Structures are given as C-alpha cells and as structure tokens.
Structure 1
Amino acid sequence: MELGDTVMKDMETKGMELEDIKLKNMKLNDMALEYENLDNENWIQASGPCDAPYFRKSFQVKKPDKASIAICGLGFYELFINGRKVNEECFIPVTSDYHPRDISNFLYPMKGTFTHRTYYDVYSIGEYLLDGYNTIAVALGNGWYNQKDRIVEGRQSFGEPRLTFHIRIIGAEDRIIVSDESVCWSRSEVTYNNLFFGEKHDLRLKQPGWQLPDFDDNDWENAAAVPPLETQLCPSDCPGDRMIRTMVPKLLYSDESRAIYDAGENISGWVVVNGVLKDGQTIKILHSDELSPTGELDFLSSGGDSQIQAAEYTGNGLQETVHPKFSWQAFRYFEVTGHRNVSGDSPFLCAVVHADVAQTSSFRCSNETLNWLYDAYIRTQLSNMHSGVPLDTPNRERLGYTGDGQLGCRTVMLTLDGKRLYRKWIRDVLDCQDQTSGRVQHTAPFQGGGGGPAAWGAAIVEVPYQYYVHYQDIDILKDSFGPMLHWFEYLESRSEDGLVSYGEPGGWCLGDWNTTQEILLPIPFVNTYFYIKALRTAAEIAEILGLPEEKKHLEETAEQKKEILVRHYYSEEENTFCGGVQAADAYAADLGLANAGMLDALNEKYAAMNEFDTGIFGTDILIRVLFQHGYAQTAYHLLTADGPCSFEAIRRAGGTTLWESFLDMKESKNHPMFGAVTRYLFSNLLGIQYCGKNEIQIRPAIVDGLDYAEGKITTIYGVIEVSYVKHEKVIEFVIHCDERISPTLEYGGRVVPVSSGERIVVERI
C-alpha cells in the first residue's frame, strides 16, 4: 500500500472519531455545562524556559459513570488520556486577543482599551478513563500566544506557553482533578516552533510512552504555578483545524544534496515525512509559492528571504511519520535538503490543513475561466481559515484583516459552512473595538496591521448583518448594534466637512486597496461611501430590532452624507464622480446616486476594457452594480476577460489560488479578497436570490457566451440547485430544492412557481 493510501485510510478512521468528538464537544452534557464559567485559576507553566513542553499528571480512580475535562493550553495544545489523543483538531484553542499586553511599540501607533477573551475546550472523557491508574498528558506549543520571531507588525507575544485543566469525575467516587504544581513537565522533541518560520524536531529526544500511566517520569520537574490571566474565559464552539486531505507531490529535481517537489496546487498544511531518518542526520524542508526561472524556490511572494517557512528534523534511526505540530506552512513547492538521509518508498506527502469548515456549494459552467474562479476561490478561502480566524494570507501575514473580512463574508457564508467560525470572529471584531473611542481595529484578533477607518472598520456592521441574513440569528444583531453606533461616533471624530478623511495619527488611512495601477480614488470618497453603506445597513438592523427612532436617525444621517458626497465629488458638467476613475461611478450607483446617463457611460467604459482597473472593493462593487442595473453582459465580460489584470491571466500563469494582486509578482499567491465576486456566479448568473428566507427567487442573467451553468448552495432551509442549458430557440431550466424551500423562476417577463426537479423550457430572449 502506498504512503498516500495509508495516510488516507488513517484519516478516514480519524474522521469518524472526529465526528464523535465534535458531537461531544458541541452538545455538552449537563455535567460539562458547569464548565461554562471555568475558574481562571490553576494555570501552570514549565519551571524553566521552554517553548514546547510536555506535561503529565497521573491519578487513580474507579471507572466513572461520566467524566469531562475543560482545558486551555496556550498557544496550542495536544491532549492525551492514557495515551489516546482526545483532540483530533489542531491549532486549538482558537486564537483571540487573550489579555492585555504592551502594544505601544507596534508598527503603526496604537492605543485603546479592548475586551480580552480566552477560549477553552470541553470534552467528555469517560470512555478514555481506566479503572485504576490514569494519566492526562498535554503537549504545548507557542501558537499566536508566544509569537516572538516575526516583528514586522510589532512585538506580538503575550507570554510563555501555559496550561490549565479541570477534570470532573462522577461515579462510584466523585472527584475533581486540576492542573497544579503536582503536574510534572519535560522538554519535548520540538526544539523550536513558530507560526511563521516553522519547526525543528530532534527525534532523538522523543520519549516513547510519555502519555501512558506506566511511564517513568521520575526525572521530570514539577510545573510552576502562575497567576490568573486578565481575561474572560469562554467555552469554544468554533471549529479548529484538521488534516483534510493528502496528495503525493511530483519530483521536479534531485541531486545528492537536495530535491525539489511540486504539490500540484497552492495549499496550507504540511509536508509529511514518512520513513527511517538516519540517526543524528538532519533533513530541512523549505516552502515557497513560486519557482524562479531557473527552477529554484522563490520566496518573494511568501515573505521573502528573511521569512522562510521551514521544517527541520534530526533522525533517530527509527521508522517515523513526522510533520509540524504547532504551525502550518503555505506553499506549492518545497525543497528537501538532506533527502538522502530518509529511506523508504515515497517518503514525502503533502497534507492540506485548515479549519474544519465544509464546502456547501458547487458550480460548473461552459466557461473555463469561471470554473477556475470558483475552484480557486474555494481553495484560497479554505487555505486562509485557521484557528478560528479568516486570514488575509496563510504565509506572510496570517492576519484577520477586517477589510478583507467584511468584503468577503457574504461569499464565504454562501459557499462554505462558516457559521461557527464567523460567530467567533464577530466576537473578535467586537472585542478589539476601542471601548473609549469606538475605533474598530484593522485586524481581529488584534495583531497590528494597517487599513482604513471605514472600509476596514465596516466589519462591525457588515459581518453581523450578513451573519443574520444567512443564519437568521438575531442575537448577533442585538450584541453588535450598540458597538456599531459607537463606531459611527468614531467616524464622526475622523471627519472633516462631513467626509471621513483621516485615521489614527501616524497610521494608515486607506480607501480602496491594490488597484491595478496607482490608486486614484480619493480616500475620503471611499471611506465616506463605506460610512453611508454602514449607516443604511444599521438602519435595516434597527428595523429588525424594532427600534424606529434609531432607524429614522440612521437613515437621515445617511442621506446627509450622500448630499455631502455629491457636493464634493460630483461633476454635473461631466456627469461623473471623481472623473469616473477606478469605478467611482459604480460606488455612486451603489448608493443610489447615479442617473441613467452615468450608468450607460460606466457600462460603455468597462465593456470596452479587457481587464480590471479596480482595487479589492471597487472590483466587487463594479460587478455588483453592473449586474443590478441590467448590464450583465459587461459583468460577465469582465469576469472572463483575459487582459493582464484578469482572473484568466492568473489561470494562464498557472495559478491554483487567487492572488493578492493582478500584476505585482511580489505579492501573495494565496489571498481571497478579490474572490468576493465569486458569489455573483450564484446570485446573478444562476440567479439564486437568497436573502435568508425560504421563498427564493431564481432570476438568472442569461448572457451571450455562456451555454450552460449549474450550481448549488446550502441554506438554513436546505439545498437549492439550479441548472440551465441553452438550445437553439429555448432554454431548459431544472431546479432542485429541499421541501422547505419555495422557489419561483423569473425569466423573460414570466414568474413561474417551481416544483423540485421540474423541467421548465422557455423561449430564449
């Protein structure tokens, strides 16, 4: 059996175990519910400096009726009971802004008072316990909690790794077992671990059986007690990461000292090494997005030569299967130095690792560019979901940028099961709001980074609202509405003559970002646009919450801001905003400020172009406005264009994920922000108009050049699938849906109620 088959079989077994573990963790039994208010006590650390310690504690009990554990190991932990691994997910607990730290020396000036939260996990462990001696064993790594080596954004570490756990046993004898100074610790074989730079393992330091009750730990030291954290301890219901699938890489080059491989696609995950590593000999694995013209690894787009993702293993002469424990790498290509020191058939395997988030959609059509766009978006978005956070890129920065997050949240919720992850991330956004000023940070959890006051801060309005739309959870709106109003106060404090014009002194104040050439759109224009959009969305929320006075005030403020935008940026003589640069008139149209002539000119301009000239926000706004105002052919034309700044250009360049920039080769090759437009494949080309209700209108925009299309989304009411095929004079539609969904098809002036699976043939227009 090949290594890939072996690992995949093992993964299938683990997958079944994982579902059982997730069920226990999500549906906490009555006993486990007592841990919702876990005391912020019983924290321990290694008694000496150690970034990856082992901890263990043995105890004797009679086989219990029930038992559960509440545990938090910072930054990341692995939990074993009597040698059995309890948490099949990795990179847990999910990351957060754990507790106060010094942020005065971050790259961009920062101050503020945040809400601090630390997540813990709860497991039912009765089945793991034996009648007699038992051992709990925990391995810790740095994670985000002790990230010290990448200081581009500032010094981010919260402190040394630490652990707390609380075991409750109910049965013949009820007992409480906690982490304290009776826990002993030792150094592990992980001699170095960092999220950005990777790991080093010396396999000669492994201690076989250290998780078992009969292991001799007499040489281990006692743990040190440490003070409680200034934080809110909260149980987690957010998916951690897991190994999703594996692939066998292709060997591109090999000589006596090194070998270069191609994973076949850009992924986040690990290179798994399976074989006998020679005793005392070291292999080193380097990872990159790209190859240079001469076939060498090119690190420019993944962090540069000063930030290379690496894994290093020193062998012990035994058969081993090893991979990083507390970090992931993002790469397509990897180089193994010392590969001759590993014996075995196919010793290297690539494992895809990301948040345990299901793909709940599909899409196929007659245009290969759109098929690639959908596939690349899904692969990119999943690669950027780690430890409970939607990231900007899985290698260079790994930050939960609020601008990227608010831009792409609708597409994530439409195509993936993002419910639990986004519920947690909304809390991150709220926690990182400055309690005094109302400012929303550029990243959540806060890890520095730059952005703009409105386009980034709008996450506090847009993400909760879209969460409500997709999942009908009104509690999210109730929790977020007050912070939204506080953020509006902040925007007013950053305004001049009614325009949102600046951010924090010494920091960034961005408008649109990553336009294909120099940014021409005025920054106050973009920020005020987002302010108006957020005001209008908040007015809708006020209506949902039954707050008529707040709704009226928000709508009036939005109208005032629209008048200010017109006064500053509209030219009546040219009938355009900001000279029409970089889709400025699409921004205006999205606010209801465009007349018919302006819309026709916008359409004419982009129908004549074969590429985008817009940034991350303008691209999404432009496509949406073209579809909404009847210019579907131009929207389709841009999505399938093949000029230099197009999705097709990335496809032809061999890209398997979306890029941070259409043109700049230095930028990340795994960046989901431009993928926000993927939702229009469903909402417009297929016409699935889902807005959180079970009465769904199907309004397909039938365009020249697209002969068939099919796809599905999964809503809270079930799955809805739409397909159509063009024939010479007619179009054949087929719509399948869950019985709870009531769809209607609207095409050619007809509105037709649809039964699931019904074939509807209409004349082409």
Structure 2
Amino acid sequence: MKYHLPPFLIASLLSFSSWAQLSVQNLTVENLSNPIGIDRAQPRFSWQLNSDKQNVKQTAYEISVRSGKKLVWSTGKISSENSLRIPYGGANLESDSKYTWQVKVWDNQTKTPALATSNFQTAMMRHDEWKAQWINSGIEADSVNGIVPHLRKTFEVKKPIASATVFVTSRGLYEASLNGKRVGDTFLTPGWTSYNKHLQYQTYDVTKQLSTGKNAVGVTLGSGWYRTKLAWENHKNLYGKETALLFQLHIKYADGSEDWIVSDNSWKSTTSHILFSEIYDGERQDLRKEIKGWDLANFDDSKWQNVKIASFATDYLNASVNEPIKKHETFKPVKVLTSPKGETILDFGQNVVGWVKFKISGKAGQMIKLYHVEMLDKHGVPYFENLRSAKAQAHYVLSGEPNQTIEPHFTFFGFRYVKVEGLEGKINPEDFTAVTLYSDMKPLGSFECSNPMVNQLQKNIQWGQRGNFLDVPTDCPQRDERLGWTGDAEVFSRTAAYNFNVNQFFAKWLKDVTADQEPDGAIPFVIPNVLGKVTGAAGWSDAGIIIPYNMYVVYGDKQILQDQYASMKAYLNHVRGLAKNDLWNMGFQFADWLSYRVDDSKSAIGQKSAVTDVYLVAQCFYAYNIELMIKAAKVLQKNEEVADYEALLQRVKKAFQQEFMTASGRLISETQTAYILALQFDMLPESLRQNAVNRLVENIKSYEYHLTTGFLGTPFLNPVLTRYGQNDVAYKLLLQDTYPSWLYPIKSHGATTIWERWDSMKPDSTFQDPGMTSFNHYAYGAVGDWMYRTIAGIDTKEADGAGYKLSVIKPELGGGLTFAKGSYLTPYGKIASNWKIEGDWLTLEIEVPANTESTVYFPTSDISSIKNNGVALTDLKQEGKWISKTFGSGKYAFTMKIR
C-alpha cells in the first residue's frame, strides 16, 4: 500500500530536515576568507558551526589540506570543541601554490558530520625567492613635488598558462595593470608602514589577464606617505627621496614549466598626465597629456627612457596580513548650494573620506578645480581654516574629449562639501559621485534603539571609523596631519572591534608599533613614527599594551599577544624606569586631552575647568598597563612574570594613594576624569570607593548632567557609573543634547561623524580653534563600547571565554528607551540581544552562536515571571539585583515582568 503525503506536510518535513541539519560556514585562513598571499609557515584554520538546534557543541573535527589531488596534511579525527585557529602541521608549504582545505565537524546532536571546503594561496615563503630588482623611474622631475611616472614592460607568453601570480610592492604608492586592465581592486597600495623597517607586498591572481603572445605590464607610482610631507612641520622625503617599484610575475605553464617577469633594467619609464599628487594637498592632472594605451602590448615605447636600478633591500618584506583599502559606499549630492560669495558647492550629506569621481565634457585647456571641506560657516561659506596648511584640492585640465570620467589616484580627502570651479553652464549634480575609501574591514556589529538621536550617534561612530581606518588608524582625515595617533586608537579599539573586524588591521599596525619602538622601550605618539624620538606618554604609548590585549579579548586570538608580548614588556619596563618609587610623576604627558575648559564656549555650565593632574592620570594608566600585563602573562603562561607584575601593581596603587588621595578618599583633582580613572582601575581602597562614586555623581550634577571629560576619561565614564549602580546617571549623560555632550553636535549642527572637540562648532555656530578642530575624529565615539555592552548588553568573558566562547547578555534598561537591539558576528557566529518594553513587561530575544554558551542576566526582580517561549525557567540564580542562567546555543524568547 502506498501512502501519499499532502504537499504542506512534505514541505514541513523538508523544512524540519533543513532546520535540523548541521552545517559549517565562514572558513578562514589567518582570519581571512579564501586568502591569496599567505606567507606564514603554519597558517591557522578556523570555521563556524551553524545549526538551528539549541545547545549545539562541536565534539570533534578533522582538517585535511590538499595541493591539487595530493594530500599534504590531515589531522585525523580530533576530539575537541576548538574551531578557531588550528595551526597547519604538515609538510612545508610551497611558495605561490594553491591549496584546498576541508574541515569535517561532528557535534553532540547530529549523527552525520558536516563538511565544508575552502582555499588559500601562498605568497613567497622565503625572502631569497625575490628575483625582481627595485627600480625607479630615473626621471629628473620625479620628486615629491613633481610628476607621477608610468613604468612598463612587454613580454611574451608562448604556451598555455596554468596560473599567473603577481607579487608587487613599492616605496610610495602603486597602481598596476596588465594588458590595460587594472590588477586587483585595491587603492593606495601597499599602504602605510614604517617603510624602511617593515614593508608589505600584495599578491594577485592574474591568470585571466594574460593571453598567448605579446603582453604588457604597466605601473604608475605616486609619492603617497613615503615621501609626501607628513605632520605640520613640512617634513618631506622622510623615508626616501625616490619612489621605487618591486614587481614579480610568476607564470606556471600547463606543461609544468614556469617563467618570471620581473622589475629590472629592461623596463621603460615616462611622465604621466598626473603632474602632482600628494596626501595633504591633493592631485593635479592635465588630461591633454594622457597617454592612451600606454599599458597595452602594441604601444610604441621607443621614446621612453630606461629605468634605474635601486639598491633597496628585500629581506624585510612580508606578505600583507591585513585587508587593503578599497572603494565602498558612494554618495550623490543631496543639494547644490550657492554661497554668499557666489561659490558653487555640492553637499553630499555625509562627512566621508575618499574622493569625487565625475563625468564631464569640456573644452581642451579648461580647468576644473574641486575644493574639499567638512563644514560651511554659519553664512554658508566653505570653512577651510581647519585644514591648516593642507590644500585638499583636485585640479583637472580637460583634454576636450567628451564624457570623460575623472578621479584622483594617489590622494584622499575628508569632506562633506565640495566647492566646484571652472564649469561652464549649470552644474548637473548627477555627474558627481563621492566615493568612500577605507580598509576592507568586514562589518560585524549593529546597534539600534528607540531614540533616533542615539541611532544617529551610532552611525556617526561608524562613519568616523570608516573615514579614519585607511590602513592605519588615523586621528583625522582632512588636515595636514592624518597620523596614526596611538591615544586615539587605544581609547577606541574596543568600539572599533565591535563595528568592524579589525583583528588583522591592528595586527598589521602593531608590527609598526614594534618596528618604531625606541631601544629603551618607549612607544612613539604616532605610528608609523614621523615625529622623532619620544618618551612614552600615558594613554598614548600605552596602546602598545592595551590594543593587543583588547584584540585578544574580542577575537580570542592569542597570536597577537604572542607577537606583541616582547614589545608590551619592553614598554612596561620603560615606564618602570621612568617611575621613581613606583610613582610615574615625570616627563611629558597629554593627560586628559581636550577636556572641558571654562572658556571653551562660554557655556552656562562652565563654573570651573575640568583639568586633571597629569601625573594622576599617568599613575592610573601605569596601573592599567600592569593589570593587562598580568592578564596577558597568564594567557601565555608566563607564571614568574605574573608574580612580579602582581607585586608591582600593589606598590603602584599604594603610591597613588599616598600621592594623590587624602585619608578620606578625596583626590587632588576634583574632576570627573580623576574619579573615573581611580574607580575604573581600582586605585582606591575598597572602603573608600563609594565615597568616590558619590563625589563623581555630585560633580556631574554640578555640571547639570554634562560630561567634562577628555580623551582618556570619556571611554570609562559610563562604564564606571554603570558598574557602581549609577546607570541612570550614565543614561542622562548619553541623552544630554546641549554642550558638552555626545548628542550636542547632532542636535545643534547635524553632525554625521564624531568631532575632535565637544565644541568644534560652538553653540553660536562659530568655530573652535582652527588649529585643532576636526569634524571627523573618532576618539569620543568610544562610548559605542558602552552602548553595545550595556544597553544591548552583549559582552564576552575574558579569562576563560575570550572571543565570545563564553559570552554575557546583560542589558541595562534606562533612559526612557522602549527597545534596543544589538548583534555581533563573533568568531563563532552571530550573537544577538533584542529587548522591548511594553507596559509592565519586557521581551528579551537572544541568539547564541553554536559551540558557545552565554550567561543571561534578566533585568527583573520578579523571578517567577521569567519564561522562555511561555515556559517557566528553572535553575535560576540570584546575583544581587540580577537573576541569571547560562544557556547553550540557539534562539530564545524570554518574557518577564519589570515593574
């Protein structure tokens, strides 16, 4: 007898089968997806489990790696929950070789293992494999203020190709092409490093760009950070006077033979139509001089001159470990404005970093000029003064060719508004597009709540990061600075890691921290260092300790601690050498940079300036550094150093109490920052901490619930208040919308990024000191960390659960918010928290990634009201005002009474 199931039941069963199935996803090698250009001898493999079941845990895995059909390594079946960064353990990997790897995963609920496959390609595994020579143009006018050269070479491909790979870098910036087509989709490569100590090369698969017969490679070289003027002292040629190229094309033929096309003295060079290109001042092009087809095989280069061989080393090169700069979002003008001076201004509606691409038909010789600014003054006139000496312009002389599409090559701008000169007739805004440029970081976190202005703040924080994470974490993207300030990066690093995947971004930048670290262990204020020799400053140089540890906590990647530990230890020893009797009370300090001053905006709340003693700040950060070194040493099992650091920490805290605190717990600086740092780092005896909390709250009330903190106090302000039971005060500060506050720039001036100063534009719409008034400066956006970890309530346990292996969901309600939701793509998968208040009831929906656990803290005192999908919970724990329970992976919908 045959049974015929109704269609709806068949669909349900199929749906259930899909629901019950385990899958493996997001395979990575060295934290990158399908990477090309891995030069680590033992690359690490990671993956995520995906299942709609609850309480799913990996029980075993098996990794196999193949080169073609040949098995080069297999782990066999390993009983383990570990799914992150399993190191390769097979035979030595071959250079420029493609490998396929497969992972098979068993879990605790599915009989059949899940399979997934991915790929990676190696770079050059040894320095001596460079056959190429460094070359430069040899053109006399090729200088920081001169032309941008083209370099080219032709070569023959005589038989069918199996694969072709380019390895390329430059001293300066490069754009490469093969047979007239761009190599890769990256920009401003090879990025910015401490060029003479640390330089990365990029790897590209160009198999499809070659053809049998004659081929041509073309490269254009720009000055970039290599020799352009950097910082405000007009230093040029900091790394060298001549740009140079290192290029190697490795061709593998179908018959097993191979060939190399390399940079050598057979290349030719000439001047391009780019007459000038510089980071701060911009770019000038004369399109009448553009050489059509210069990078094609049949081009006649007989009148080009020979390149020169340069004598730079290759033994310090390594393959790129971070994501390169790419083009991302684009914006069309939202308005065309006319200033009181008659200027034509495009408003793109968002403060961005990148450049403007536009289409135009014009007369030969016609000059088009674009001027980039962040703000208009209160009269509608472009505000250039905060650019300081940076010209931030793009000039184009038209060739007369119709419908030309034009954009820069080797510069970038920070702007919302663009003044356009030289057009004839009425401007068509649709011809202009703002193109954003930033490191190709994967978005990870999201946050939204019922307050639209807080949502705008979240957007501003993310746009500040996009605009300033161009290969290095810059302070600002528009003026004659754009440097990798360590203090800005340090205070923002946890927030940055929530917004985007910055594991590899910081891993690369930290290599330059080590490269530029002074012999005595001091870490410069900017990395790469262009400011000269320094002595460490608290909160800035400490980035060398704080950021590696923060990256370990967020991503669970011990390698970054292992790689940086020697540098971390050297910096702490440097500070120990500066300290006398365990007191860091000498040397230059930035202290609580840009904290509130009475005369800043003549605000009604300005009863007193909020200036914190510089050495009080330094002593607190000294203790913070030691605490993180204790944690790092424990992770790396350096037990003897743990004991040394623990004893040092106690002495440093005692020295603080003797120097900066009265017997009753009053600090010598009666500022928000002083009490915040003392409480954050447990500098006070436990018996006096509540008094300090009371003084902090009274201070905030005296400023009518406005913050007065600077760069170092602000990140810890709300976390300290929440920790000590003052979450209502923290919410009042977050939601304050008059100066000084986070929401003031949004409400009063429509800000779309975070500002450098609380009053970069004052309440009367005049500007702060133009010498230091950036409108895209992410440091104060560090409050995003509190928003994610406290409002949404998503966090990771450190000691035994780094990287969200063991997470916490603990939302703190307040501020009149009726809902908040946050999500984060952890190394294990998505974690989410979504809460909503309706009357006396709270709904809390959560998602916990497979192969992890999360302890959920319910914000209610009514334990009997807590239910999951309508079913009462058991085994709940009472922890102070919280009720908690640990859950395995899956989705849960809790309801509870809150009033």
Q: TM-score, normalised by structure 2?
A: 0.77
- Cα distance between partner residues in 1 of 2:513 and 2:234: 18
Which structure's residues are more often helix, by fraction? 1
Structure 2 counterpart of 1:651, from 725, 743, 746: 746
The yes-or-no answer on 1:689 pairing with 2:786 is no
Moved more, 332-341 or 667-676: 332-341
- Cα distance between partner residues in 1 of 2:127 and 2:268: 22
Name the CA shift for 1:621/1:22 in 2 (closer, same or farther; >3 Å).
closer
- Cα distance between partner residues in 2 of 1:192 and 1:341: 28
1:168 alignment counterpart: 250
Structure 2 counterpart of 1:662, from 758, 770, 790: 758
The yes-or-no answer on 1:278 pairing with 2:363 is yes
Moved more, 160-169 or 555-564: 160-169
- Cα distance between partner residues in 2 of 1:341 and 1:187: 33
1:746 alignment counterpart: 857
Tell me the secondary structure at the aligned position of residue 349 of structure 2.
strand
- Cα distance between partner residues in 2 of 1:451 and 1:325: 37
> Aligned AA for 2:174?
Y
Q: Could you tell me how far 1:481 is from its partner in structure 2?
A: 1.7
**Once the two structures are superposed, what CA deviation does each residue of 1:541-567 show, in whole Å capped at 9, x if it has no partner?**
111111111001011101101100110
Tell whether the 8 Å contact from 1:282 to 1:313 is kept in structure 2 after alignment: yes
Structure 1 counterpart of 2:214, from 120, 124, 133: 133
Q: Percent identity?
A: 27
Name the CA shift for 1:286/1:520 in 2 (closer, same or farther; >3 Å).
same
**Once the two structures are superposed, what CA deviation does each residue of 1:36-70 show, in whole Å capped at 9, x if it has no partner?**
43457601111123241111110112232122121
1:390 alignment counterpart: 473
**Once the two structures are superposed, what CA deviation does each residue of 1:619-662 show, in whole Å capped at 9, x if it has no partner?**
11221211112211111111111231111111021111000000
- Cα distance between partner residues in 2 of 1:220 and 1:342: 41
- Cα distance between partner residues in 2 of 1:139 and 1:702: 55
**Once the two structures are superposed, what CA deviation does each residue of 1:680-708 show, in whole Å capped at 9, x if it has no partner?**
11111121122323222211111141111
Uncovered stretches (5+) of structure 1, i.e. residues with no partner: 1-20, 100-115
Tell whether the 8 Å contact from 1:257 to 1:338 is kept in structure 2 after alignment: no
1:405 alignment counterpart: 489
**Once the two structures are superposed, what CA deviation does each residue of 1:55-112 show, in whole Å capped at 9, x if it has no partner?**
111011223212212111231111111111112110110211111xxxxxxxxxxxxx
Tell whether the 8 Å contact from 2:176 to 2:182 is kept in structure 1 after alignment: yes
The yes-or-no answer on 1:516 pairing with 2:516 is no
Uncovered stretches (5+) of structure 2, i.e. residues with no partner: 1-31, 40-66, 68-93, 97-121, 598-608, 761-767, 798-802, 861-881
Write out aligned runs for 1:546-565 (5 A).
Answer: 546-565=637-656
Name the CA shift for 1:451/1:349 in 2 (closer, same or farther; >3 Å).
farther
Q: Could you tell me how far 1:762 is from its partner in structure 2?
A: 1.0
- Cα distance between partner residues in 1 of 2:177 and 2:583: 56
1:251 alignment counterpart: 336
1:95 alignment counterpart: 192
- Cα distance between partner residues in 1 of 2:314 and 2:789: 45
Tell me the secondary structure at the aligned position of residue 152 of structure 2.
strand
- Cα distance between partner residues in 2 of 1:737 and 1:699: 13
Q: Could you tell me how far 1:607 is from its partner in structure 2?
A: 4.5
The yes-or-no answer on 1:292 pairing with 2:387 is no
1:675 alignment counterpart: 781
- Cα distance between partner residues in 2 of 1:597 and 1:376: 35
Moved more, 527-536 or 36-45: 36-45
Structure 1 counterpart of 2:714, from 612, 619, 622: 619
The yes-or-no answer on 1:53 pairing with 2:149 is yes
Tell whether the 8 Å contact from 1:154 to 1:448 is kept in structure 2 after alignment: no
Name the CA shift for 1:357/1:451 in 2 (closer, same or farther; >3 Å).
farther
- Cα distance between partner residues in 1 of 2:789 and 2:679: 19
Write out aligned runs for 1:466-615 (5 A).
Answer: 466-503=550-587, 508-517=588-597, 520-573=611-664, 575-592=665-682, 593=684, 594-607=688-701, 609-615=704-710
> Aligned AA for 1:631?
Q
- Cα distance between partner residues in 2 of 1:502 and 1:442: 17
Tell me the secondary structure at the aligned position of residue 364 of structure 1.
strand
**Once the two structures are superposed, what CA deviation does each residue of 1:694-747 show, in whole Å capped at 9, x if it has no partner?**
222211111141111111111101111111111221211111233233223212
Tell whether the 8 Å contact from 1:257 to 1:339 is kept in structure 2 after alignment: no
Tell whether the 8 Å contact from 1:118 to 1:231 is kept in structure 2 after alignment: no
- Cα distance between partner residues in 2 of 1:405 and 1:478: 20
Name the CA shift for 1:34/1:87 in 2 (closer, same or farther; >3 Å).
closer
The yes-or-no answer on 1:416 pairing with 2:549 is no
Tell whether the 8 Å contact from 1:256 to 1:340 is kept in structure 2 after alignment: no
Tell me the secondary structure at the aligned position of residue 561 of structure 2.
helix
1:106 alignment counterpart: none
Paired residue total: 720
- Cα distance between partner residues in 1 of 2:456 and 2:617: 30
Q: Could you tell me how far 1:322 is from its partner in structure 2?
A: 1.0
> RMSD value over aligned CA atoms?
2.2
Tell me the secondary structure at the aligned position of residue 751 of structure 1.
strand
> Aligned AA for 2:574?
Y
- Cα distance between partner residues in 1 of 2:758 and 2:699: 20
1:371 alignment counterpart: 455
Name the CA shift for 1:419/1:561 in 2 (closer, same or farther; >3 Å).
same
Tell whether the 8 Å contact from 2:610 to 2:671 is kept in structure 1 after alignment: no
Q: Could you tell me how far 1:27 is from its partner in structure 2?
A: 6.0
Name the CA shift for 1:26/1:413 in 2 (closer, same or farther; >3 Å).
farther
The yes-or-no answer on 1:724 pairing with 2:835 is yes
Tell me the secondary structure at the aligned position of residue 226 of structure 2.
coil
> Aligned AA for 2:135?
I
Name the CA shift for 1:342/1:123 in 2 (closer, same or farther; >3 Å).
farther
Structure 2 counterpart of 1:124, from 202, 205, 214: 205
Q: Could you tell me how far 1:591 is from its partner in structure 2?
A: 2.1
- Cα distance between partner residues in 1 of 2:839 and 2:137: 74
- Cα distance between partner residues in 2 of 1:158 and 1:440: 19
Tell whether the 8 Å contact from 1:377 to 1:657 is kept in structure 2 after alignment: yes
Q: TM-score, normalised by structure 1?
A: 0.90
Name the CA shift for 1:662/1:126 in 2 (closer, same or farther; >3 Å).
same
Structure 1 counterpart of 2:530, from 447, 451, 463: 447
> Aligned AA for 1:265?
Q
> Aligned AA for 1:138?
V
The yes-or-no answer on 1:757 pairing with 2:847 is no
Tell me the secondary structure at the aligned position of residue 217 of structure 2.
strand
- Cα distance between partner residues in 2 of 1:220 and 1:662: 55
Tell whether the 8 Å contact from 2:37 to 2:319 is kept in structure 1 after alignment: no
- Cα distance between partner residues in 1 of 2:233 and 2:753: 25
- Cα distance between partner residues in 2 of 1:254 and 1:514: 32
- Cα distance between partner residues in 2 of 1:186 and 1:342: 38
> Aligned AA for 1:25?
I
Write out aligned runs for 1:80-229 (5 A).
Answer: 80-99=177-196, 116-148=197-229, 151-152=232-233, 154-155=235-236, 157-159=238-240, 160-171=242-253, 172=255, 173-229=257-313
**Once the two structures are superposed, what CA deviation does each residue of 1:124-178 show, in whole Å capped at 9, x if it has no partner?**
2222111111111111111101113765264453222110111222214421221
Tell whether the 8 Å contact from 2:855 to 2:885 is kept in structure 1 after alignment: yes
- Cα distance between partner residues in 2 of 1:279 and 1:537: 62
Name the CA shift for 1:704/1:476 in 2 (closer, same or farther; >3 Å).
closer
Tell whether the 8 Å contact from 1:698 to 1:745 is kept in structure 2 after alignment: yes
> Aligned AA for 1:70?
F
Q: Could you tell me how far 1:258 is from its partner in structure 2?
A: 4.6
2:847 alignment counterpart: 736
> Aligned AA for 2:740?
C
Name the CA shift for 1:403/1:685 in 2 (closer, same or farther; >3 Å).
same
- Cα distance between partner residues in 2 of 1:24 and 1:568: 53
Tell whether the 8 Å contact from 2:794 to 2:822 is kept in structure 1 after alignment: no
Tell whether the 8 Å contact from 1:281 to 1:341 is kept in structure 2 after alignment: no
Tell me the secondary structure at the aligned position of residue 298 of structure 1.
coil
